[in-house]
Amino acid sequence: MKERIASHVASVHNVVMLAGLVAIGLTGSMGTLPAPTSDTLARRVHAGKVAEPQPQPQIAIATNPAAAAKSPFRMDLSYYEQLRSKLNWLPVRYAGSVLKTPDPESRLLLAQSAAQRAGLEEVGLSYRDVYGIINAETSWIPRMGASKDGTPNLGIAQFEPATARAVGLADPTDPVQAVHAAAVHLKDAAKWSARRIADLKLSPEQHAVKLREGVSIYYNLSTKGRNTWNGLNTAKLPVETRRHIANARVGAREAAELESQLQQVKARVGQPGMMTASFQGGRS
């Protein structure tokens, strides 16, 4: 019996790793390089070796108290520590350095928790959209970067300092906090996108597609760049932004496929379902 249990545990590990390899085939996000077509990364130059996510280099962002008070993002450190203890990290080679990336189950757990606590279902988004945006930004490899104008882009969600201040995020290099702050930012993005396409005659399916195009545009462009978009002229946007839209879409599909694979594995070996964000009661 013990041998059978050990065999089942090994099977879970092997198939979870297989799910990770499937993810490589989908986006390249767990291979030796991140997805090369990431629209945001195409506009950036990398700023040297990035420290592993554990321990984190502390890069303090002086937040704007007034702006932070209006943001639904909350610095719930005890929740983040509990969540962090459930994450597993895998080595990945990037730009000549060995960094770390969350394993497939940890990616899903982070994305689910962030989506739930931000209330993304209220604006027509889900954890798949969180997963997709992080995929488009960094392929889930926390790192430092910079825009062409020298503006730092920090951590797994590539927050610029000004955006981090606006959402109340003090340490963009902390992957757990950053993914949760990114979900809050996506909620604002979805509201903005919905307003931009409100006058278009769209089917529910077309509306969902356009809403997500706008989310990538909001995340990827400056205010001036965003405001050129009317819901119909996506093909005229910068190529980097169009790649961001495509990479986010691929990431969302990857999230759905990984969740299905992991649930099937757990069901076959008779283990409880995949970890979810429900371990500590919903949104703050």
pLDDT the model gives residue 95: 83
Look up residue 115 and give its amino acid: A
Q: Is 45 exposed, middle or buried (0-12, 13-18, 19+ CB in 10 A)?
A: exposed
Q: Rounded to an integer, what distance in angstroms lies between the CA atom of residue 60 and that of residue 45?
A: 22
Confidence bin at 246 (pLDDT 50/70/90): very high
**What does each C-alpha distance from 6 to 3, 10, 17, 143 come to in angstroms?**
5, 6, 17, 36
Between 262 and 114, name the one with better pLDDT.
114
The residue among 181, 187, 177, 164 whose CA lies nearest residue 78 is 177
pLDDT the model gives residue 204: 97
Q: Terminus-to-terminus CA distance in the chain, angstroms? A: 43
> What pTM was estimated for this model as a whole?
0.75
Question: 3-class DSSP state for residue 11?
Answer: helix
Q: Which residues, in sequence order, are CB contacts of 173 under 8 Å at separation 6+?
A: 51, 53, 56, 57, 58, 59, 142, 144, 154, 155
pLDDT at residue 256 tops 60: yes
pLDDT the model gives residue 63: 52
For CA atoms 20, 21, 26, 27, give the dihedral sign.
Answer: positive
pLDDT the model gives residue 151: 83
For CA atoms 92, 84, 220, 124, give the dihedral sign.
Answer: positive
Confidence bin at 169 (pLDDT 50/70/90): very high
